């Protein structure tokens, strides 16, 4: 059972209905750039010779996965350069520097109730079609000892509903103004190569300001850990948690493989417990899989959105949710009626009974996959935090994945020694089975936070 990488960014004003067979969109990549992994037997001189021969120069080396980030210096296409590097005897693999984007579908009407946490039918949905959060909170509300790496567009770390749940690096001197990254002491106190990284890191600009200039990352953070019981705004799955802003997606919600890998490396070195990844869009990347594997080796859960095209990930892989690494959890989106979420509709079946396979869904919705998508969580019309002390409702598997990342963090607050397998067992074995997901995802159901927490409570 496994996943694929593709970001679910589906901002649609008009939905075109098509009966044609879905042709997978060619993954986008950074023009003139590629990632190359050389054999360990090759010398530095031979590496330089290979780059000169093909016409490329090093931008940087990504030591986490021992891969060179290269820039083509001739008029040669990326495809041609990949072919030529791949043909060299001391090259293990060469691939484009893929572009990833956010997986969110903006929804204009303001959604004023957190139906995902407690659904009484207040939005016209099905009463009880929620994650049973309120009863779970009778047992646990989270812990500031649990770290969640939010790998996204950054986080508004000044937001009144998030500020106290933002991680601050104890090995770096605090900024004199906690809301101004320029007020650090301009010293790399912890010696990790990142100056004044007191509140995460910006891999787009290579700076210590991971403020969200999009909104996507802040929205995801709110679902994971908007402060609870503070008399302000909304509440996340965790009332208490620490979230690390790791910005690799720019203001347009776009980022590269190289920057995503660096974010994963940073989070792994920091020792986060869970990584929340509401993005995708590139093709299969061996370098990305290697990075995720290293996080898995450190016992870090990697939660990933399954995609927003309404297609079957078993047939059309979506990355990073399709990577076959033990720590990857792929998340589908459900709606307020406990149906597979469809975008631009009130929810429910898309008219093809989930046997559309490669056909374009009449109404695009959450991706699914009997062997490649693990679990569902609320992902349509989700109210959460956005920059500027504001709130908005967004839809997409981008909104579903943070509910699972948050759930994993809550479980770790109850039982800190849970392994990746332990977390997956607790999440997967306690779902509420749903008809719309039966034989369409691995668990066949939607997150039930209460039963998941109960499953890891100490035995009396």
Question: Of 130, 132, 159, 216, which residue is the catalytic one?
Answer: 216
Helix and strand numbers (H, E) in the chain are 9, 18
216 a catalytic residue: yes
> Which among 257, 218, 219, 316 has a CA at the least distance from the CA of 59?
257
Q: What is the DSSP letter of 320?
A: B
> Which among 70, 43, 41 has a CA at the least distance from the CA of 58?
70
> Which among 422, 417, 425 has a CA at the least distance from the CA of 375?
425
Asked if residue 132 lies in contact with residue 156, where contact means CB atoms within 8 angstroms, the answer is no
152 a catalytic residue: yes
Handedness of CA 371, 373, 375, 376 (dihedral sign): negative
Asked if residue 334 lies in contact with residue 396, where contact means CB atoms within 8 angstroms, the answer is no
Question: Of 152, 161, 314, 350, which residue is the catalytic one?
Answer: 152
Asked if residue 73 lies in contact with residue 55, where contact means CB atoms within 8 angstroms, the answer is yes
Structure tokens at 383: 């109210």
Q: In DSSP terms, which residues pair with 152 in a beta bridge? A: 247
| Sheet of 375-378, strand order | 201-202, 240-247, 142-152, 274-277, 301-305, 328-334, 375-378, 445-446, 432-433
Structure tokens at 57: 């120069």
C-alpha count within 13 angstroms, C-beta hemisphere, residue 18: 13
Handedness of CA 220, 221, 225, 227 (dihedral sign): negative
Q: What is the DSSP letter of 181?
A: G
For residue 148, what is the enclosing H or E element? strand 142-152
Question: Of 273, 398, 413, 436, which residue is the catalytic one?
Answer: 398
3-class SS of residue 115:
coil
> Which among 260, 227, 233 has a CA at the least distance from the CA of 150?
260
Which residues of 237-296 form beta strands (DSSP E)? 240-247, 254-256, 274-277, 279-280
Asked if residue 280 lies in contact with residue 313, where contact means CB atoms within 8 angstroms, the answer is no
What is the phi/psi pair of residue 139, to 5°? -105, -35
Residue for token pair 């004003």: 13
Asked if residue 96 lies in contact with residue 56, where contact means CB atoms within 8 angstroms, the answer is no
Q: Which of the residues are catalytic?
A: 152, 216, 398
């Amino acid at each position: 059972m496994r996943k694929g990488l593709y970001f679910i960014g589906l901002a649609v004003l008009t939905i075109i209905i098509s009966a044609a067979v879905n042709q997978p969109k060619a993954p986008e990549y950074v023009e003139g750039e590629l990632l190359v992994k050389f054999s360990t037997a090759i010398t530095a001189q031979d590496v330089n010779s290979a780059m000169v021969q093909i016409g490329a120069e090093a931008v940087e080396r990504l030591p986490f996965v021992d891969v060179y980030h290269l820039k083509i210096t001739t008029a040669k296409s990326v495809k041609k350069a990949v072919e030529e590097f791949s043909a060299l005897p001391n090259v293990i693999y060469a691939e484009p520097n893929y572009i990833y984007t956010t997986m969110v579908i903006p929804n204009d009407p303001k959604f004023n109730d957190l139906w995902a946490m407690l659904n009484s039918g207040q939005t016209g949905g099905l009463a009880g079609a929620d994650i049973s959060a309120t009863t779970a909170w009778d047992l646990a509300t989270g812990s500031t000892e649990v770290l969640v790496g939010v790998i996204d567009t950054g986080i508004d770390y000044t937001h009144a509903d998030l500020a106290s749940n933002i991680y601050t690096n104890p090995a770096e001197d605090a900024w004199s103004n906690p809301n101004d990254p320029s007020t650090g002491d301009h010293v790399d106190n912890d010696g990790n190569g990142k100056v004044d990284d007191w509140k995460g890191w910006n891999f787009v600009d290579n700076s210590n300001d991971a403020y969200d200039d999009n909104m996507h990352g802040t929205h995801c953070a709110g679902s994971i850990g908007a402060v609870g019981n503070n008399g302000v705004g909304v509440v996340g799955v965790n009332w208490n948690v620490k979230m690390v802003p790791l910005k690799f997606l720019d203001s347009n919600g776009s980022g590269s493989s190289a920057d995503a890998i660096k974010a994963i490396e940073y989070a792994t070195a920091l020792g986060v417990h869970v990584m929340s990844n509401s993005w995708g869009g590139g093709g299969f990347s061996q370098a990305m899989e290697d990075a995720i594997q290293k996080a898995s080796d450190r016992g870090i859960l990697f939660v990933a959105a399954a995609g927003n095209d309404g297609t079957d990930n078993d047939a059309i892989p979506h990355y990073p949710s399709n990577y076959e690494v033990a720590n990857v959890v792929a998340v589908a989106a459900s709606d307020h009626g406990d149906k597979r979420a469809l975008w631009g509709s009130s929810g429910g079946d898309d008219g093809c009974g989930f046997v559309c396979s490669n056909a374009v869904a009449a109404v695009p919705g959450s991706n699914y996959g009997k062997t490649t998508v693990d679990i569902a969580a609320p992902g349509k019309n989700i109210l959460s935090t956005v920059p500027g002390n504001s709130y908005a409702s967004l839809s997409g598997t981008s909104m579903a994945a943070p509910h699972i990342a948050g759930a994993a963090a809550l479980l770790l607050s109850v039982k800190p020694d849970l392994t990746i397998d332990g977390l997956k067992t607790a999440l997967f074995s306690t779902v509420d089975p749903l008809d719309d997901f039966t034989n369409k995802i691995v668990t066949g159901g939607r997150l039930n936070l209460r039963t998941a927490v109960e499953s890891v409570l100490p035995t009396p």
